[in-house]
Amino acid sequence: MSRGSTTLSSPSAFERDGFVGIAGRTRHIYDLVSGIYPVSTFLFHEKAHKVALSLAGIRDGMRVLEVATGSGEMFRRIAGLNPNGMTCGIDLSPNMAARTQRLARRRAGAKQTHCQAVDARSMPFRDGSFDAVVCCYLLELLGSDAILQTLREMHRVLRPNGRLALVLIGQNHPAFNVLYRVGGKLAPAFWGRQVEKAIPPAIEVCDFSIEHDRKVQQGFYPSRVMIARK
């Protein structure tokens, strides 16, 4: 996807490198930072996580999947809301998935929490397995084809009428966009690139309908929260 694009069709560094190459580097980098990543979640993502949860309609007893848990801060929030349900998570990085699983079992006290190292493009769950799917700050790290593949996977594993809560990095602040572009050039496998503007049409192509669309600002860091219904 090109900078500022509103479609997912233009080539980018992700397409040029090939998804397999970039995904291998992404897994490696996120494995390395898994112990310190909670600081970044606290500084940049916490507010958008709370907004997404307040809109996602998650209730106790549901079957909920978080895709790309990172170090598990949102996962524990979900598990805390869902003590008698089932909360599943996946992350490409084995260290992130292991940390998420360990801390959820220890701190959230939910009966059924499962987190495993899995690629979001192809998930080991049956069709319609979940009442809700949550995915925060993943799509920036995927190539254009992988974004569509992942959105289709999330659609497949959701039950009819189930909700997808998606959080993206906002593109509404020019100065932030410049900084992000620099970060993305220096470490594309860690920062990815902003894709927020191209995601609403992609969600609709994948047969979701958007119910809520909110901008959230935490310090200088912009996010966009979208809730979509299957």
Sites of contact with ligand SAM (CB under 6 A): 23, 26, 30, 41, 45, 68-70, 74, 90-93, 96, 119-121, 136-138, 141
Environment class of 136 (CB within 10 Å of its CB; exposed 0-12, middle 13-18, buried 19+): buried
For helices 73-81 and 46-55, what crossing angle results, to 10°? 30
With respect to ligand SAM, which residue has the nearer C-beta, 61 or 192? 192
Tell me how far apart the alpha carbons of residues 226 and 44 are, in angstroms, rounded to a whole number. Answer: 17
Residue nearest to ligand SAM (CB): 70
With respect to ligand SAM, which residue has the nearer C-beta, 84 or 129? 129
Return the C-alpha torsion angle 186, 33, 77, 86, nearest 10. Answer: 110
Task: Return the structure tokens found at 181.
Answer: 């572009």
With respect to ligand SAM, which residue has the nearer C-beta, 74 or 225? 74
Closest approach of ligand SAM to the CB of residue 51, in Å: 12
Chain centre to alpha carbon of residue 22: 17
With respect to ligand SAM, which residue has the nearer C-beta, 82 or 150? 150
Closest approach of ligand SAM to the CB of residue 4, in Å: 21
Chain centre to alpha carbon of residue 109: 23
Closest approach of ligand SAM to the CB of residue 96, in Å: 4
Closest approach of ligand SAM to the CB of residue 207, in Å: 21
